[in-house]
Amino acid sequence: MGEYRCFKSFWGMTGPLEEQFKAVKDAGYDGFDGSLPDPSLDQRLIGLLQEYHFPYVPTVKTQGPDHFASFQREIDRALTFSPPLINSHTGRDTLSQKERSELFTKILKYEEQLPVPVSHETHRSRVTFSPMAALELVNEFPTLRLNADFSHWCCVCESLLEDQADTMARIIKNVIYIHGRVGYPQGPQAPDPAAPEYARELAAHEAWWKAIAVNLKAQNKMIGFCPEYGPGFSRYMHTLPYTDQSVADLWKVCLWAAKRFKKNVIDTI
């Protein structure tokens, strides 16, 4: 089967880069994932990636008014890190169907010349903000590759997508990467996915992730997973009123999610 790699998100990590790399290595992760850093950190980051033999999956984020030109600029910079793949927050949910079609016609043509694949993340505010929006795209562009962050869709659709099983099965065929955060009908991040009150949500996400992993294994492709939970200071992790203290430990949540995926998904396929 293709190699399995678990990536730790830079999101929520603090302190010098050198300390972050050591902590992530000691915890057993295989590499990093996250938004492109401040340009002043590029060479330092490249040096540490080489020292630790860590792959890095960078996330690019397109901006208007010309999302394609933005995509090209961001991709060119992301390639300097020699990534195994690049993740993209692409377009906006405000684009019309015609605009979305024109954008991805250009993007997929451009991707043909790239040395690594690009996964377009299923994300609120982007063109893939809902299952039906993503389905329209994969039906029009069968070669479109996706990063599954289905936590967003649970929030957008205010459900665990029980009524969209056929849509999910179709979309999963185009997924090449997983952002493994458990969402629930009222939000994109369960404060602690290990808590029993989120058992139903965890089971739903694990079923999707397993289907993705099985599909990638059958194609002998890398199975990449990132437990991408957000910190309290970004208001992704729930915080207590007035004290602004996170209700769970972000590092422990991510590590639990990484070990759980390995045991309940990778070791079972």
Q: Cα(158)–Cα(172) distance, rounded to whole angstroms?
A: 20
Contact in structure between 212 and 220 (CB atoms under 8 Å): no
Q: What is the pLDDT of residues 99-119, one digit of tens each?
A: 999 999 999 999 999 999 999
> pLDDT (tens digit, 9 = 90+) per residue, 234-262?
999 999 999 999 999 999 999 999 999 99
Closest CA to 59 of 168, 177, 211: 177
- Rounded to whole angstroms, the Cα distance separating 89 from 87 reads 7
Q: What is the spatial distance between Cα 195 and Cα 185, in angstroms, rounded to a whole number?
A: 16
pTM of full prediction above 0.95: yes
- Per-residue burial over 167-203, b if 16 or more Cβ lie within 10 Å, else e, is bbeebbebbbbbbbbbbbeeebbbbbbeeeebeebbe
Per-residue burial over 66-86, b if 16 or more Cβ lie within 10 Å, else e, is ebbebbeebbeebeebebbbb
93 neighbors 127 (Cβ within 8 angstroms): yes
pLDDT in tens, 62-86: 999 999 999 999 999 999 999 999 9
The closest alpha carbon to 104, from 90, 115, 114, 94, belongs to: 90
